[in-house]
Structure 1
C-alpha cells in the first residue's frame, strides 16, 4: 500500500496515528498519517519563520512542478496509477481526473499571468521598481502564512491555493481525508522543483488539529457546505468556499433547442460534482419542453465504474448512495420528477453504485430547492418572468444567461452576489487560467501601499 505521510517543515513525517484509505470495493490502497496538534503548532511556527523565495525562483519552480505533476512519477507513483487511485477512491470518472491533472499542470505553468492579472494596473510588484522614486503603488501581502482546508470532491480544487504560494505566502494545506492523493503529489512536486519544506506543508488532521491550522495562519480558505459558510461568515481572516448554486437563464426571445448540449454539459460535466455545475435552470415561459428534452439526454448517460474510460457519472459507496437517494426524495417532495423520482442509484454489484442524474420541475423561481446542490448531477427547472427579475438569480457562482437583452445583462453583471456571468451558449463549468473563479484570491490576500524613495 501507499503511505501518504505528513509533509512537514523538516520533511515527511509518519505519524503513529494513521487512517486506511480504501477503494469503494473495499480494497485498501493507502495509509494516511494524521498530524497531532503539537506537530501542527510547530509546523505553523516554522512557516512563519521561513524566508520568502524570490519571485523569479517561485515562477520557475511552478513551471517545473506543473510538468512533473502531469507527466512524471512522483514519490514513486506514475501519473496513470495516481489517476486510477483517485478515481477508484473518490468515484470521480477517470477521464475527469485526467482532465483535472492537466488543468492543475496548466495552472502551475501559467501562474505568473494569473497573479499579474489580479494586480491593479496602477501598482508595481516591488519597491525596487524605478517608478517608486517618484512615488508609486506597490502590491504587497497582507500577511505571511495562508492555510487551506481543502475539499475532496474534485482534484482541481487544488488550483485554488496556488496563487497564494506564487504571491510569496507560506502555505499549509489540510487535505480531505477522502482525497489526499492530489495535494500530496502536488506539494511533493513543488518541493522537488525548489520550494523549501518550510514554505509549503501538508497537514492531514482530525477536526481538533484542523482548527489549530486556521488559528495560527494569517488568512485561510475553507471549503464546505452552507454550514461552513455560516460558521466563518463573520471572520474577516477566513474566505469560505461554499456551494456554487450555479444557474442557467433562458429568456423567451432565444431558442433553447440549439443549447441543449450546453445544458447537459452544465449539469453533468465533470461528473456533476462541482460548484460550477448548474443546479438551477430558469426558463421564461413554460419550462416543460426544455425539461423533457433535457431529461431524455441525461437519461441516456451510461452507468459504469468510475475507472472505466467511458464513465461520465460519479460513483459512491452503496450506503452513501442510498443516503443521497433518500435525501433527494425528501427534498423533492411535491416537485414534478422528470428524472430521479424512482431513485438515482444504479447498483454496480461491488459495494458501489452509480449516482444517476436527477431533474425536477418546480412551480416558482423562488422555490428553495432551486439552490439545492448535491454531490451528483442534480438540477431543478422552474419558470421565470420579468416580474421576478434577478432576485432568483442571486447567490450564484456561475450564471449562464442565454439572452439578447442587454439591459438584463447589465443587471446581472452589476449584481454583487453573482460571481461570473457567461452570456450565450457557454456551459457553466467553463474556466480558463488567469481568470477569476470566485474573484481573484489575491483580492483577499493583497493590498496596495504607496512607496516613495
Structure 2
C-alpha cells in the first residue's frame, strides 16, 4: 500500500506489526539522502496500551506453551527470512521486501554505508540462528531445559526454579546499528513477548524483523512493533513489565532512576594503555574506532595513556590507520565512513569538535583543511583523532580522543564505559573489572567480534527471569 507525496510519487507505507493494529490514521515521512523514502504509520497511545495487554496475556501464554527447541527453530528461520534467504516450507507466504530494498532504505535513511548495513544484518541473523548458545550462557544450569521446566537442583539438595519475572519486555530502540535488535529478539526464545518502538530514522529493521518472526511461526500476539513519536516509546517503557531504552544522554535521561528500565547509551567505550602498543594492538584499537561506522556503543571513543605510554605516539599511530578509511559512495560495499542525511547535524558536530581544546592529528597528518566533506550523496565527517587533555564525548562517526591520566586516577575519572580495553596495566585491569560502572573488559586488544554469549552490559535473563526456591512434593 502506498501514499502519494507532494510531487505525486508513490511512497510505501511502513505499517506496525501488531495483532490488534488494523488501521492507522496518521503517518510521517521518512527522509533519505536522495529524497523521501516512505510514509511511516504512527500508532496512537491507546493502541500501544492494547498491544501491551495482548502481549502480557495471550502472547505470554502462547509462548509458554511452546517448547524452547521449537522457538529456537523459528528464530533461526526468522534469521534466514530477514536476509531474504530461502525459507523452509513451514514459513508462511512472504511479505518482506527484497533484502536489497531493505539495505538501500537503511543506508539512505541513516547514512550507514551499505557494506556496514549488510554486515550488521548478518550479525543480527547470526544472533537469531545461534540463539541457543546465548540462552545456554544465561541459563543457571548451562542447559536449555530450564526454559521449559524451570525446576532444577543445586548441590543435590537445594531445590530451585528459574522462572519468568515479567510477562512482556518493552523497548525503545535506536537507529545506529541493526545488530542491536538481536537482544530483544532473544526474549522471544526465552518465552517473553516484546513490544518495540523503533527509531523514526530506521523503522525498517524493526518492521522487517517483526514480520520475519511472524512468518517463521512465532505467535502474532507475542510480537509488536509500534512506530510513533518519542512519547510513545516512553509509554511502552513505562507500561511494560520491564523495558530497554537505547540512545544518547537525552533519550535515556528520563529512565536513569527507574529500576524497571535498562538504559543503554552513550557507550563512551575506552582503551587504557600502560605501555607503547604494538602494531597489532594499534590495529585492533583503530578497528575499535571505525567499526560500525563509529556509531555503535562498543566503538572506542577514548584512548587513555598512562605510565610509560606516550599519548602523542598513540595518536599518530591511530591517525595513520584512520586516514586509510574508505570515504566512497554510501551504496558502495567498501565504504567505511557514514554520512549524515541531515547536514545541520554534521555541521553542529563539526563545530563542537572544533571548539574543543586539542589538536586534530588526522587533519595535520592528512594535510586536510576541513573535517566536513560534501560528496554528491551525503555530507561526511572524516575520521578524526583528537589529541587533547580532556576526555571527549561520543560522536556518531569514526572519532576518538587521546588523553593522558595518572594511574591513580583510573578508572574513577572515566565515570563509566560500556567497554574497556586494557593493555600493559594488570593492576588497572583488575580495578576496571571490579568497577560497577564498566560493563565489559578485554585485555590485550580490542575484540575481533561481539560474542552474543557475552553480556550486553548485563544478561537479558537477569531481568526477565529470577531464581526462586522450589521444593516439589
Task: Check whether TM > 0.5.
Answer: yes
SS of aligned partner of 1:397: strand
Instruction: Call closer, same or farther: CA 1:359–1:128 in 2, change over 3 Å.
Output: closer
The answer to whether 1:148 aligns with 2:171 is: yes
Q: CA–CA distance in 2 between the matches of 1:360 and 1:406?
A: 27
- Cα separation, partners in 2 of 1:300 and 1:158, compared to 1, 3 Å: same
Asked if 1:418 corresponds to 2:443, the answer is no
Aligned counterpart, 1:17: 26
329, 335, 341: which one pairs with 1:305?
Answer: 329
1:357 to 379, 383, 389: 383
Change (3 A) 1:203 1:379: same
Question: Which residue does 1:209 correspond to in 2?
Answer: 232
Pairs within 5 Å for 1:36-435: 36-50=44-58, 51-53=61-63, 54=66, 55-72=68-85, 75-121=95-141, 124-127=146-149, 136-252=159-275, 254-284=276-306, 285-317=309-341, 318-330=343-355, 332=356, 334-339=357-362, 342-350=369-377, 352-363=378-389, 367=390, 369-370=391-392, 372-403=393-424, 405-427=425-447, 430-435=449-454
The reply to whether residue 5 of structure 1 matches residue 18 of structure 2 is no
Equivalence for 2:89: none
Please give the alpha-carbon distance, in whole angstroms, between the structure 2 residues aligned to 1:411 and 1:14. Answer: 54
Aligned residues of 2:147 and 2:190 also touching (Cα < 8 A) = no
Q: What do the CA deviations read for 1:315-347 (whole angstroms, capped 9, x no partner)?
A: 0132322122122223x1x21221368542210
Contact persistence 1:5–1:13 (CA under 8 A): no
Hey, what's the Cα distance between the residues in 1 that align with 2:62 and 2:96? 29
Q: SS of the counterpart of 1:198?
A: helix
User: C-alpha distance in 1, partners of 2:150/2:374?
Assistant: 63
> Residues 128, 400 of structure 1: CA spacing in aligned structure 2 closer, same or farther, 3 A cutoff?
closer
List gaps (5 residues or longer) in structure 1: none
Contact 2:116 2:333 in 1 (8 A): no
Is 2:473 the partner of 1:449?
A: no
CA distance in 2, matches of 1:385, 1:210: 42
Q: How far apart, CA to CA, are the structure 1 residues paired with 2:283 and 2:152?
A: 52
> Which residue in 1 is equivalent to 2:8?
none
The DSSP-based 3-state class of the residue aligned with 1:7 is coil
Whether the aligned pair in 2 keeps the contact of 1:33 and 1:204 (CA below 8 Å) is: yes
Residues 112-165 of structure 1: CA distance to partner in whole angstroms, max 9, x if unpaired? Answer: 221221122399445575859965211111110110000011111211212222
Shift of 1:422: 1.0
Return the alpha-carbon distance in structure 1 between the equivalents of residues 150 and 358 of structure 2. Answer: 62
- How many pairs were matched up? 440
Of 92-101 and 208-217, more deviation after overlay is shown by: 208-217
Rate the CA distance shift 1:128–1:294 in 2: closer, same or farther, 3 A.
Answer: closer
Deviation at 1:264, TM superposition (A): 1.4
- Cα distance in 1, alignment partners of residues 185 and 150 from structure 2: 25
- 1:305, distance to aligned residue in structure 2 (A): 2.3
Runs of 4+ in 1 over 4 A off after TM superposition: 126-135
* Inter-CA distance 167–6: structure 2 relative to 1 (3 Å threshold): same
**Secondary structure of residue in 1 paired with 2:221:** coil
Secondary structure of the corresponding residue to residue 306 of structure 1: coil
The 2-side partners of 1:321 and 1:283 are apart by 29
In the alignment, structure 2 segments of 5+ residues that lack a partner are: 1-10, 87-93
> Alignment partner of 1:420: what SS?
strand
Q: RMSD of the TM alignment (CA)?
A: 2.3
Q: Is the Cα–Cα contact under 8 Å of residues 122 and 137 in structure 1 kept in the other structure?
A: no
- Give, in whole Å, the separation in 1 of the partners of 2:147 and 2:178: 31
Distance 1:80 1:167 in 2: 31
- Answer yes or no: is the 8 Å Cα contact 2:152–2:159 preserved in 1: no
